[in-house]
Amino acid sequence: MAVDERLKTTDTQYHPRSRPDSLFPSRCPPPAPGSLRPRTAPGSAAPDRRGSAPSSAAVSAEVLAPPGFAARFRRPYAVVDVETTGLSPTRDRVLSIAVVLTAADGTVEHRWSTLLDPGCDPGPVHIHGLTRQRLAGSPTFAAVADEVAGLLAGRVLVAHNAAFDWRMLAGEAMRIGTTLPVEWRLCTLTLASWLGLELPSLRLASLAAYWGVVQRRAHDAQDDAEVLATLLPRILQRAADQYLELPLTRCGVDRDGVTVRPPRFAAAGRTPPCRYRNPGRLDPGAALVQGMRVAFSGPTRTERGELVGRAVAAGLHVTETVSRRTSLLVTNDARSVTRKVRTAALLNTPVRGEEDFLELLAAVRPGILVPAAPPVRHDRRPRRPTPDA
């Protein structure tokens, strides 16, 4: 069976009202103000609450006393990052994997990483820096699959844009006829968008700068996973302070030994009608406004259905074509020859990449509601009597 024929199920987003008891403790009355703050050892500084890098005394205090989020979110984590030849789990391959295992309180338990020989062109070397020469002699995914499975088993997979990392790993596993024992994943990009951080961007580099974490090599799987593992306790603590639930998503189910993944949004039917007036095109440097018409083209790191669902939930009008009324085209390859990209170039339609769109999506401005059409009233005229009446 071809790989793309196996991707036929739905991805279920975790909902707080139906959370499994195995993932979270039962809901309790809200604690007194300040009770979620980590306890500190006598004479040590309190943890920094403003997002800056904590002092060495505060760091040692966090080790002595588990932070408040560990009492709410009691699962161990596997922080993952991958570098790939492209964006499609069915066509592209994984070039490097890095995994950092952490306890529920954020303590690092184990680090593991490897380069992989994809058996094909490494793709955008200008992004990840992984040339054929550097990858030569590396193991294949089949050679490390059992080790990867052992690292991920029983843990919540954590990644910045976790849908992409999970699907690329699951695609590699499916190629060799196996599955990965991952039930839940946590996207720190999604969780960070809930925290109300006053940042122009929610990229990993922006979050690292916000919390004073040094990022040495962007788009390096090992360094990115290490940075995210350092940020994870800070993000979880901020979520606990705001009484947020984690946006956990099921990774899939085992069906006849095959891990299946969700279909594209088109399989679920048309998007619901937009309730807001179209404000026109997206101006350079401006924010998205509810009612703007958005189209997507080409492969994306985030599952297309998830992108469309988030856009619709934000009040945007998702369309299947590009026209003069289109406000924005989202694509990761503005030089492709797809009909949407060619039409956008002809009409001078604004084009943005996926990461830029996700940042804009986190701060959509209110739009103008379209008045609901009055119900159609049918006159009930008396029926003309028939000759037999």
pTM over 0.75: no
The residue-averaged pLDDT of 347-357 equals: 92
pLDDT per position as a tens digit, 71-130: 888 889 999 999 999 888 888 899 999 999 999 999 999 999 999 999 898 988 888 999
Write down the pLDDT at residue 375: 57
Write down the pLDDT at residue 67: 55
Residue 226: how many CB atoms within 10 A of its CB?
Answer: 23
Who has greater pLDDT, 34 or 89?
A: 89
Residue 38: how many CB atoms within 10 A of its CB?
Answer: 21
| d(C-alpha 368, C-alpha 290), whole Å | 8
Who has greater pLDDT, 201 or 380?
A: 201
Kindly state whether residues 13 and 137 are assigned to the same domain: yes
| d(C-alpha 317, C-alpha 311), whole Å | 8
Q: Given a cut of 60, is residue 2 above it in pLDDT? A: no
- pLDDT-derived band at 176 (thresholds 50, 70, 90) equals confident
Write down the pLDDT at residue 6: 41
- Whether 79 is covered by a domain: the verdict is yes
How many domains, the chain?
A: 2
- Whether 339 is covered by a domain: the verdict is yes
- pLDDT-derived band at 23 (thresholds 50, 70, 90) equals very low
| d(C-alpha 195, C-alpha 235), whole Å | 8
The residue-averaged pLDDT of 286-295 equals: 93
Who has greater pLDDT, 313 or 31?
A: 313
Residues 6+ apart with CB under 8 A from 133: none
Give the residue from 235, 259, 283 where a domain finishes.
Answer: 259
Kindly state whether residues 254 and 278 are assigned to the same domain: no
| d(C-alpha 346, C-alpha 323), whole Å | 10
Q: What is the domain extent for residue 289?
A: 265-361
Who has greater pLDDT, 280 or 30?
A: 280
Residues 6+ apart with CB under 8 A from 85: 92, 93, 95, 118, 120, 121, 122, 123, 124
Kindly state whether residues 196 and 298 are assigned to the same domain: no
Kindly state whether residues 158 and 301 are assigned to the same domain: no
Write down the pLDDT at residue 43: 44
Write down the pLDDT at residue 382: 56
CA R_g for the chain: 24
Residue 362: how many CB atoms within 10 A of its CB?
Answer: 20
Window from 37-46, 238-247, 248-257, 334-343 with minimum mean pLDDT: 37-46
Q: Considering the chain, what is the average pLDDT of its residues?
A: 78
The residue-averaged pLDDT of 377-386 equals: 56
Residues 6+ apart with CB under 8 A from 112: 98, 99, 100, 101, 147, 151
Window from 55-64, 187-196, 267-276, 377-386 with minimum mean pLDDT: 55-64
Kindly state whether residues 254 and 321 are assigned to the same domain: no
For the domain that residue 91 is a member of, what is the CATH number?
A: 3.30.420.10
Q: Given a cut of 50, is residue 267 above it in pLDDT? A: no
**Residue 381 tokens, joined:** 């005229």
- Whether 377 is covered by a domain: the verdict is no
Kindly state whether residues 248 and 326 are assigned to the same domain: no
Q: Given a cut of 80, is residue 140 above it in pLDDT? A: yes
